[in-house]
A and B are shown apart, each in its own frame.
Chain A
Amino acid sequence: MEDTMTNSSQNFWLLNKYGLLAVSLASAVSVNASVQKSIEGISADSCISIQTGLNNTVTFGADKTYSFPTKKNFRDRYKRIAQSEWFEKTHSGMSIGEIITIEE
């Protein structure tokens, strides 16, 4: 099982995806347990560690370590922008301007 997981890029991306999701949701320093529980098809006893920071490190088993950059989550910021007084004043009921259609 460990070899299969280590060599499987599909599982790696699955882990990557869920790992990022867990990191962005929890903003936790260590999310080992939640990641292990949330990933279907990956053995719970396999060694997985994720660290937050500028780079995430994912370890499969004892000898495989992958690093990938953490992506900033801009959704919260844009949610705040949309709820701000400034946004209401700037965009509410405003026209997007004269619409000139271009055929290409």
Chain B
Amino acid sequence: MWVSEPSKQITQGTIVDGVDWGRGENNPLSIVISNACDLENGKSNFLLVAALESAADVLQETKEFRDKVKDANKNKELTQKQWKSFENFLLNYIHNKNICRHFFFDPRPTIDMDCLVVDFQQIKSVEMDFVPSLSIEGQMNHPFVEQLMMRFTSYTSRIPVGRVNSEMENIYIQELAQGFKPKE
């Protein structure tokens, strides 16, 4: 279970409602990503939060999802190979095996909502004076909080590295394949 009933104290991984994301009545839930000891020792002037979005709604809009299902027929049927690829994509997403924009979790039964994702591109700093007005809805359990933070830092600090061209890739593949090759 990813989320349990919250205590009265806000700490890293606390899920809160009431952060103003500038979307009026459509403000999403938020999760606290501030360092827990900063909050505990009163060293923070601001509370760092990330927005939570509906996993199914967000994922189906992504380029990656659309690429996986673009060859489906009108009944949304995929070939076995296509389905396997799609299923693997979803499994990696569910288990947060990838470093990407989202961190997947299921807030049920603590929060009455389907699966959610933490959106690492929607980050907000909330003044501590405003924090008492937030309503605490849940607490992400350990070690999922640590996994979330690891994915967050990896996502924000990843370094773009140029890839070798396809010609060089083939040379390296030959060198490492030890004579194994696809059947003619």
Measured CB to CB, the residues of A under 8 A from B are 24, 71-75, 77-78, 80-82, 84, 86-87, 91-104
Contacts and interface: CB of A to CB of B under 8 A. Distances in A.
A74 B29 contact: yes
Nearest to A81: B26
Contacts of A74: 29, 111-113
B25 A97 contact: no
Nearest to B23: A86
B28 A78 contact: yes
B26 A86 contact: yes
Interface of B: 17, 23, 25-26, 28-29, 53-54, 57-59, 61-64, 66, 92, 97-102, 111-114, 137, 154-155, 158
B29 A98 contact: no
A104 B63 CA distance: 26
Q: Is the interface of B mostly helix, strand, loop or mixed?
A: mixed
A96 B101 contact: yes
Nearest to A91: B61
A97 B101 contact: yes
B39 to A, nearest CB: 24
A24 B59 CA distance: 27
Nearest to A24: B112
A100 to B, nearest CB: 4
Given A78-B28, A84-B26, A98-B100, A72 B112 contact: yes
Given A96-B102, A98-B158, 9 more contacts: A77-B28, A78-B57, A81-B28, A81-B54, A82-B54, A91-B58, A93-B63, A96-B100, A101-B92
A96 B64 CA distance: 7
Contacts of B97: 101-104
Interface centre among B26, B58, B100, B158 (most CB of A within 10 A): B26
